[in-house]
Amino acid sequence: MKYHVHVVVVAAIALFAGMPARAQDTTKPGGLNKVAHDVSNTMKKAGRDSKAELKRDGSKAHGGLQNAGNETKTVLKKTTGIHGSHNKHPGGLNKVAHDISNTSKRAASDTKAEVRRDKAKLHAEATETGKSIKDTTLKRKP
């Protein structure tokens, strides 16, 4: 009887070992991971789209301001006849243009830094919320 049980067990193992293993689909996550994956992809796409839109708007604004500044400078040069020098520390009309340019550059830099700080803050909050949801969901799992 003992011998018969061993033969049956060995035969069953041989039968299952001989069967081709079913390939598992590891390309797509399932369950909670699938939800997290989908949310992550949606957030990334929205972030990329908004970033691209902001970049396009910033480029348009920069181009417009640069053209307006150059036109203003040209008009002032023609009307006043002051052309100034190209020194590191310019005087005359170039000094005025230089000061205006530096002021606008600082303002743009501050604005850009503020946007980046806000973006980082939102990202940190979204990450924290995601981790919290994941932790609470996993703790409820039996």
Which tens digit of pLDDT belongs to each residue from 6-35?
544 445 455 445 555 454 455 555 677 888
- Whose CA is closest to 108, among 50, 61, 52? 61
For the chain, give every domain's residue range: 60-142
| Per-residue CA distances from 20 to 16, 17, 56 (Å) | 8, 8, 54
Helical spans, DSSP H, in 19-31: none
- Residue 117 has a pLDDT of 92
Q: Residue 61 — left, alpha, or beta (φ > 0 → left; ψ -120 to 50 → alpha)?
A: alpha
- Residue 90 has a pLDDT of 58
State the Cα–Cα distance between residues 44 and 49, nearest whole angstrom. 8
Tokens of 106: 């600082």
Instruction: Mark the ranges of the chain whose per-residue pLDDT is less than 70.
Output: 1-30, 83-91, 140-142
- Residue 1 has a pLDDT of 45
Q: Give the pTM.
A: 0.37
